[in-house]
Amino acid sequence: MQDLSLQDIMYLPGVGPQKADVLRKEINVSTWEDILYYFPYKYIDRSKIFKIREIDGNMPYIQLKGKIYGYATLGEGRKKRLTATFYDDTGDIDLIWFQHVKSIQNHYKQGIEYILFGKPTYFNGNIQVAHPELETEDRFFNGEVGIQGQYNTTERMKSAFLYSRALQKLIVIVLENIKEKLPETLPDYLIRKAHVISLDEALRNIHLPLSSSALRQAQFRLKFEELFYLQLQLLRVTKYREKRIGGFRFTRVGDYFNRFYSQNLSFELTGAQKRVVREIRRDMNSGRQMNRLLQGDVGSGKTLVALLSILIAIDNGFQATLMAPTEILATQHFETISQLVDGLGIEVRLLTGSTRKKERERLLPDVQAGKIQLLIGTHALIEDTVSFDNLGLVVIDEQHRFGVAQRAKLWKKNKFPPHILVMTATPIPRTLAMTLYGDLDVSVIDELPPGRKPVRTLHIYSAKRKNLYASVRRQLREGRQVYIVYPLIEESEAMDLKNLLEGFETTKNIFPEYKVSMVHGKMKPVEKDAEMQRFVSGETRIMVATTVIEVGINVPNASVMIIENAERFGLSQLHQLRGRVGRGADQSFCILITEYELSENTRRRIAIMTETNDGFVIAEEDLKLRGPGDIDGTQQSGIAFNLRIADLTKDGQVLSLARELALEILEDDPLLQKPENGLLNKQLEKLNRQRNMGWFMIS
């Protein structure tokens, strides 16, 4: 069997050096194997050829059979375009090209019969097709095509006539040239267990489906394989770490923990908190390094769980550190925790970017000497100047602001890696968590402290906002506080800032009897903090702000969150903002204000927000609406989302199956040394080379 990854695409009939260059540069295809793994992004029914009389301008992509006449170039320079008429025995339509005007004219001859493929639209009352795909019938292989794959192509590819159809033809040539069956990439036993078809059958049918059921099976096989190897890789690293990297053993629950629990804690832990604390204790006493992700909705009490874990570390004679993404959040953690542990005699300090040099010079030696038991801070904690005597536990709050590389840097602060607890209030859908954090164990706090009333969310049109102010005033009279949030997006910064300032003025006019704060990202940190502080202390009763308050202050007395231009916020952002209220015992409200005109997508987002408070449901929906690439944390996490065929928003079940089977295999053969797993090893190596998956090793 020839090695397809060694067959240069350039020597394929119809390619040559120029096209080969375009293929390599545009879609990273340079070998036979590469092109076989360039899958269609969708399929269309090409079994039908329409008559021109039958079509209108509202149809999806269709096929016609006919001839071209009357090329004409219109316009000059950048507005230059090419038109022609396309006709059959029932009528004619217009064709139009905005690019490659000259080469098109030379390429497609008049008077020859073509199969046209394109999307008809109305223009000035006529039907027209822009940039149609044209094929002569004799080259229109695979006559009764039926379901046909469509391939993504770029502008540069199109100008080299590498349209979707042309790509497909190259693939057909490759497939015709492979006489034997394509070599299998999954072991036999796994193919049987997962009930998937062979790679040979899958690759042929993904490009040229023989039927829709054959296509479905091909998709399943290829998705499974992709997700399986991803999981196998992730889980293998985890297993490896479990075996090789030891962890400090925190055997004791001692004085600090017990005194805190019996004296300082004024409420009962929720069931979920207790369960998670048990999970963490078990991890930290297992002799292995803990790498745990703690997910829980805003206000679910993660900080407390973190503190209890920290106390266990201190009880065992270790130092701990808590890292937050912003200065405000770090400061707030510092204040809350200092209060909580009051009287226990624990040395807690704060280190942020604005810690004075003098203070630093006092602080750092104490940290190094082990005198400081808990150091709370921001990114400043990972600077090289910070070193510990015996760091036993690192807690990272709001994971999505920290990349994998930063986590790795914290590890290196010790000879022995400290236990790591990552907390996130952005619930991550299961499928994504498995893929992103396959190497982390996950704990979930899925229960709010008792007495919390779920926030009520309402949608109000901007024009109807008058009524709103009466209700807001009622809340203010009862002593509550109010947030009003405006969008501030970098691209339209000036406008947004203007809106915010206007909003600030309007608010002051509407509520002259109350003091109003304003905070935005363009303010100096000192001013911003001072203003936040005024609101936290209750001096100001209304906070007009941009999303800077998203991860930030905890004001249990705030009961109303008004979000202006709610259509401009993403789902998880809205959910995060809403989490700023509902932290006290009172009924809280979240008001989403929009204009009347809303896109389908926005309507959906608003509906979800008013229907549910469940962060996981929201995260799932967000993933569906936006796709995984846009979800917070995926970009910073350093993981390329270059899945070829699997779709994390839709293929949760395939992913679960892949994970289950990968786990089973690793349980039985952790190092993949058994002969039947030789292929798995080989394939992983190959994928690692190809996909540059080096990040697996550092997380």
- Residue ranges binding ligand ADP (CB under 6 A): 267, 269-270, 273, 296, 298-304, 425, 449, 554, 583
* Cβ 399 to Mg ion shortest distance, Å: 12
When CB distances are held under 5 to 8 angstroms depending on the partner's kind, the choice from Mg ion, ligand ADP, none that residue 583 binds is ligand ADP
Name the binder of 299 from Mg ion, ligand ADP, none, CB < 5-8 A by kind: ligand ADP
Report the nearest approach of Mg ion to the CB of residue 205 (Å).
49
Q: How far is the CB of 264 from Mg ion (least distance, A)?
A: 18
Here the tokens at position 162 are 């590498």
User: Choosing among ligand ADP, Mg ion, none, which partner's interface includes residue 132 (Cβ < 5 to 8 Å by kind)?
Assistant: none
**Residue whose CB is less far from ligand ADP, 270 or 517:** 270
Question: What, of ligand ADP, Mg ion, none, does residue 431 touch, CB below 5 to 8 Å by kind?
Answer: none
Q: Which is nearer to ligand ADP, 128 or 300 (CB)?
A: 300
Least separation in angstroms between residue 302's CB and Mg ion is 5
> To the nearest whole angstrom, how small is the minimum distance from the Cβ of residue 332 to ligand ADP?
9
Integer Cα distance of 505 and 326 in angstroms: 28
296 contact, one of ligand ADP, Mg ion, none, CB 5-8 Å limit per kind: ligand ADP
- Closest-CB residue for Mg ion? 303
Shortest approach of Mg ion to residue 311 CB, angstroms? 17
Q: Give the nearer residue to Mg ion in terms of CB position, either 303 or 613.
A: 303
Contact 227, 654 (CB under 8 A): yes
State the DSSP H helix or E strand holding residue 483, giving kind and residue range, or none if neither. strand 481-485
- Closest to ligand ADP by CB, 487 or 615: 615
DSSP one-letter string for 86-129 = EEETTEEEEEEESS-HHHHHHHS-TTS-EEEEE-EEEETTEEEE
Q: H or E segment at 533?
A: helix 525-536
Which has the closest alpha carbon to 300: 446, 399, 456? Answer: 446
For residue 324, what is the DSSP state? Answer: -
Q: Compute the distance between CA of residue 680 and CA of residue 670 in angstroms, rounded to an integer.
A: 12
Counting Cβ atoms within 10 Å, is residue 617 exposed (0-12), middle (13-18) or buried (19+)? Answer: middle
Distance CA 493, CA 482 (A): 24
Q: Looking at residue 261, what DSSP letter applies? A: I
The residues with which 593 forms a beta bridge, in sequence order, are 460
Query: 337 phi and psi, to 5 degrees?
Result: -70, -40
Least Cα distance to 292 among 241, 365, 217, 243 occurs for 241
CB of 306 to ligand ADP, least distance (A): 8
Apex CA 28: angle with CA 22 and CA 30, to 5°? 75
CA distance 230 to 437: 11
What is the smallest separation between the CB atom of 269 and Mg ion, expressed in angstroms?
16
Single-letter amino acid, residue 225: E
Phi, psi angle pair for 211, to nearest 5°: -160, 170
Q: Which of 302/419 has CB closer to ligand ADP? A: 302
Contact 7, 32 (CB under 8 A): yes
Which partner, Mg ion, ligand ADP, none, binds residue 273 by CB below 5 to 8 Å per kind? ligand ADP
- The DSSP symbol for 353 reads T
Closest CB to ligand ADP among 236 and 583?
A: 583
Region of 91 (left: φ > 0; alpha: ψ -120 to 50; beta: rest) is left
Q: From the list Mg ion, ligand ADP, none, which binds 291 (C-beta under 5 to 8 Å, kind-based)?
A: none
Q: Name which of ligand ADP, Mg ion, none residue 392 binds, using a CB cut-off of 5 to 8 Å depending on partner kind.
A: none
In whole angstroms, give the CA distance from residue 161 to residue 156: 9
Q: Residue 106 or residue 266: which is nearer to ligand ADP going by CB?
A: 266
Strand order in the sheet with 126-130: 120-123, 126-130, 91-97, 81-88, 62-74, 114-118, 133-136
Shortest gap between Cβ of 306 and Mg ion (angstroms)?
Answer: 9
SS (H, E, C) 382-438: HCCCCCCCCEEEEEEECHHHCCHHHHHHHHCCCCCCCEEEEEECCCCCHHHHHHHCC
Q: Closest residue (Cβ) to ligand ADP?
A: 301
Contact 648, 655 (CB under 8 A): yes
Q: Which residues are bridge partners to 424 per DSSP?
A: 295
Nearer to ligand ADP, 293 or 655 (CB): 293
**Amino acid sitting at position 201:** E
Of 303 and 572, which CB lies nearer to Mg ion in the complex structure? 303
Least Cβ distance, residue 434 to ligand ADP (angstroms): 22
User: Closest distance between ligand ADP and the C-beta of residue 423, in Å?
Assistant: 7
CB closer to Mg ion out of 63 and 303: 303
Nearer to Mg ion, 182 or 396 (CB): 396
Comparing CB distances to Mg ion, the nearer of 303 and 475 is: 303
By beta-carbon proximity to Mg ion, the closer residue of 7 and 424 is 424
Interaction site with Mg ion (CB under 5 A) = 303
Binds 449: which of ligand ADP, Mg ion, none (CB < 5-8 Å by kind)? ligand ADP
352 binds, among ligand ADP, Mg ion, none (CB under 5 to 8 A by kind): none
Q: Which does 221 bind (CB under 5 to 8 A by kind): Mg ion, ligand ADP, none?
A: none
**If contact means CB under 5 to 8 A according to the sort of partner, which of Mg ion, ligand ADP, none does residue 304 touch?**
ligand ADP
Among ligand ADP, Mg ion, none, what does residue 292 contact (CB within 5–8 Å per kind)?
Answer: none
Do strands 81-88 and 62-74 pair parallel, antiparallel, or not at all (unpaired)? Answer: antiparallel
How near is the Cβ of 264 to ligand ADP at its closest, in Å? 11
**Which secondary-structure segment (H or E) carries 129?**
strand 126-130
- Kindly state the smallest distance separating residue 590's Cβ from ligand ADP, in Å: 16
Provide, rounded to whole angstroms, the least separation between the CB of residue 425 and Mg ion.
6
What is the rounded distance in angstroms from the CA atom of residue 613 to the CA atom of residue 55? 47
- Contact between 432 and 626 under an 8 Å Cβ cutoff? The reply is no
- Is the Cβ of residue 12 or residue 324 nearer to Mg ion in the bound state? 324
Q: CA–CA separation, 503 vs 544, rounded Å?
A: 8
